[in-house]
Amino acid sequence: MTELKNVCETRIRFKFYKKDEFKYLSHLDISRIMTRAIRRAELEIKYSLGYNPKPKIGFSPPTPLGVESMAEYADVLLEGNIDESAFKKKLNLELKPQMQISEAREISGKIDNLMNAAAVVLYGFELNICSSDNKDLLKRFYAGLKEDLTTGSDFCHSIFDLKIMPVEGSSDILLLKLFGYAKIFKEENNEIFKFNNFYGFFKNWLKEYCVNIKDVKKEELFVLSGGILKTPMEIV
């Protein structure tokens, strides 16, 4: 019986990006677009049983509207024996260039659903000082950031890690790891940042230090596995 089941269905985890104009599409839009593309690719999603059958596809937590993402994930349960690379190839033909699958892997064992597992999200953005001659301000900004990290403000609960990569001129690239949606964090601390409004979240800071952020991008997503942070693909 178990053997028969394995032949009849395939569970696939895949990673995709949404960039350029597609950053303006909401999480629900993206999931609708993906589900339709799967149908166009003539891949058949399994449906739940019951009164109101639902397709068995689940996505990682939403990325805020207007933010590009290189790390969207989804798990899908398909009818039949589907090869992961064929899945990627077929599906990409049905998707616009702004939204393509970068990786697909068959899931064999048991795995936590993406919505509950996402523990930490890595955002990257470029930081610009408004007046280019004032590199001093940037230093003060970083000092302020560190202070916030240690003084226990609401904001400090959300930051997991911070990396600064200097680039030419008056800008730096900031890589910021923020706590995500994972169930464990929700239970421990309900003040966790919900990513509803990335710009709103930074607004006061930016005003205070007179800096601009641009090209905010969701770079990666991490889940906790055996006490270590791993990407959703690494644990498959």
Partner 1 sequence: MDKIKRLDSNLLGRLLKDIEKPGRYINNEIGTKSKSPGTIKDFQSLILMALVFPDIYEVGMSNLGLQILYDIINKQECFSAERVFSPWIDFEEKLRREKVKIFSLENRIFLNSFDLIGFTVQHEFLYTNILNILDMGGISIRTGDRKNKFPLVCAGGPAIVNPQPLSRFMDFFVIGDGEEVVISILQRVKKYRDNNKDKNWFLQEISKLDGIYVPGFYKFYYYPDGRIKSIEPGKKVKKAVVKNLNEFEIVEDPIIPNIKVVHDRFAVEIMRGCSRGCRFCQAGIIYRPVRKREVNSLVRQSIAGLKKTGYDEISFLSLSSSDYSEIGHLLDKITDSSKHGRLSVSMPSMRLDSLNLKLFELIQSGRKTGLTFAPEAGSQRMRNIINKNIEEKEMLDCIKMAFSSGWEKIKLYFMIGLPYENDKDIYEITLLVEKIIAAAREKLSGKKLARLKINISINAFCPKPFTPFQWAAYDNPENLDSKFDYILKNVPKRYVNINWTDSRKSRIECALARGNDRVGEVIESVWKNGARFDNWTDFFKLSVWEEEFKKAGLDIDFFTTRNLSKDEILPWDIIDIGISKEFLLKEYDRAKECL
Interacting residues toward partner 1 by CB under 8 A? 21-22, 24-26, 28-29, 32-33, 35-40, 42, 47, 51-53, 65-66, 94, 96, 98
Give the nearest distance from C-beta 78 to partner 1 in angstroms: 14
Q: Two tokens at 85?
A: 């690379």
**Spatial separation of the C-alpha atoms in residues 89 and 99, rounded to whole Å:** 13
List the beta strands (DSSP E) in the chain.
9-18, 57-59, 68-79, 99-106, 118-129, 159-166, 171-179, 211-225, 228-230
Please say which residue, 66 or 144, places its beta carbon nearer to partner 1.
66
Give the nearest distance from C-beta 24 to partner 1 in angstroms: 4
Give the nearest distance from C-beta 197 to partner 1 in angstroms: 10
Give the nearest distance from C-beta 217 to partner 1 in angstroms: 13
**Spatial separation of the C-alpha atoms in residues 104 and 34, rounded to whole Å:** 14
Please say which residue, 18 or 177, places its beta carbon nearer to partner 1.
18
Give the nearest distance from C-beta 194 to partner 1 in angstroms: 19
In the block, which residue shows the tokens 């055996």? 226
Please say which residue, 24 or 210, places its beta carbon nearer to partner 1.
24
Please say which residue, 25 or 121, places its beta carbon nearer to partner 1.
25
How many residues are there in the chain?
236
**Spatial separation of the C-alpha atoms in residues 121 and 223, rounded to whole Å:** 9
Residues 6+ apart with CB under 8 A from 15: 71, 72, 73, 101, 102, 103, 104, 232, 233
Residues 6+ apart with CB under 8 A from 95: 16, 33, 34, 37, 101
Please say which residue, 72 or 220, places its beta carbon nearer to partner 1.
72
